[in-house]
Structure 1
Amino acid sequence: MNDTILSQPDLEAYEPFAGTALSPTVARAHVSPPLGLDVAQAGLFAPETPAASVNVCILALDLGTKTGYAVRKRDGKVVHGTQSFAPRKSWTDGQRWLRFQSWLAEVLDLHHVQRIAYEHVSFHAGVRDAHCYGAFRALVEMAADRRNIELVGTNVQTVKRHWTGKGGADKAAMVAQARARGFRPETDNDADALAVLDWAVAQERAA
């Protein structure tokens, strides 16, 4: 299941701060009723097992131009999806970061997030990808610090092994595992976020 946290602004209409908290015409969040998993999809574990509550609301992120996100509330309800920050010709250089910052703030405040979990990526094939990841991660660190939210990172191999049993699992395997657990991820980014969330919930239960 998935949910759209924010409606996308009209990306073709140029406005320097469109889609950010600084915009006088910012499109506020369109939030559907909280999407929880039904009895057949309860929790992030066995489909037939009802989800027990956890002590904190956790946001899991797969950072990138197409950011995957998954939120698990204290009552076990899950909201997840993919938010794109692909730049458009009409955007100024800072638009991608301003839009991500605004979107992230909306998610954190809407769901009263108390912990953020993310994949700690230590290697990128290209310089551009490395720069983008660094920028997104810096904005997450700033948002967490500003709200006194706990920030937890883990490496990619750990998440893949936790989710699929294989540290080298490919994108197709990550998506397949999400579907096997009763989810319908929009993208592999979405599936990765669900995997990070499952890992974070397991850490919370073990604490």
Structure 2
Amino acid sequence: MTHRIVLALDVGTALGWAVQRADGSVESGRVELSKGNRQGVRLHAFRVWLVDQLTRLGEIDTIVWEHAFRQPGAANEVHHNLVGVLLDFAERNRIIDYHSVDVKALKGFATGNGNADKDAMVAAARAAGYPVRSHDEADAVHLLRYEISGRRVADLPRLHEARRKRQQQAKRRRAANQNQKVTAA
């Protein structure tokens, strides 16, 4: 059985991530994005990380992230700038299924309490069988669980059609590259 390839992100300088691969396996982790003096350095590091994930996974069907709001001070600006990079990445790579999940809905799904704290989110992830090491990773795992649980009904026929088109485009690019190699020889 082929599963959707889902990338779930707790977007921030400490980036929590979780992914479901096509074979249904799940992996997760946490990445510390550069805390350089300039925000552009951080945004570039995030873009590079996203490209690396796409390369590693081969393709991504769905991207989901936590919709953070009312964050204090600079954290709000950082979050929204990183989401801007994420949206640009999704569009450039023809990932048409991307969306955010409200924080309260996610916490309610994970713990039964829409106001759960970070420790409760970590405990809930561990109770569900995910050996997370941080609250950022726990949030990403819960985002992934939320997405694949069907709480948000995905338009699967549209996703399958998009995947088929991407595969056809890749096949045409490979053929064109082969023709260029033959012509050059």
3-state secondary structure, aligned to 1:178? helix
Task: Report if the CA contact (8 A) 1:66-1:82 is conserved.
Answer: yes
Note the residue ranges of structure 1 that are not aligned, 5 or more in a row.
Answer: 1-52
Q: Which residue of 2 aligns with 1:185?
A: 132
Residue 68 (structure 1) shift: 0.2
Once residues 113 and 195 of structure 1 are traced to their aligned partners in structure 2, the CA distance between those partners, rounded to angstroms, is 18
Aligned pairs for 1:50-65 within 5 A: 55-65=3-13
Cα 1:155–1:204 shift into 2, 3 Å:
closer
Structure 2 counterparts to residues 32-181 of structure 1, below 5 A: 55-88=3-36, 92-111=38-57, 112-126=59-73, 128-149=74-95, 150-181=97-128
Give the 3 Å change call, closer, same or farther, for CA 94–178 of structure 1 in structure 2.
Answer: same
When the two structures are superposed, what TM-score results if normalisation uses the length of structure 1? 0.69
For the pair shown, the structure with the greater C-alpha radius of gyration is: 2
Q: What SS does the aligned partner of 2:113 have?
A: coil
CA RMSD of aligned residues (A): 1.8
More helix by share: 2
* Separation in structure 1 between the aligned mates of residue 52 and residue 151 of structure 2, nearest angstrom: 24
Report the Cα distance in structure 1 between the residues aligned to 2:68 and 2:116, rounded to whole angstroms. Answer: 15
Structure 2 stretches of 5 or more lacking a match? Answer: 155-185
Normalized against structure 2, the TM-score is what? 0.76
Q: Deviations over 1:69-91 (max 9, x none)?
A: 00011221011000001414xx6
Q: CA deviation at 1:103?
A: 0.5
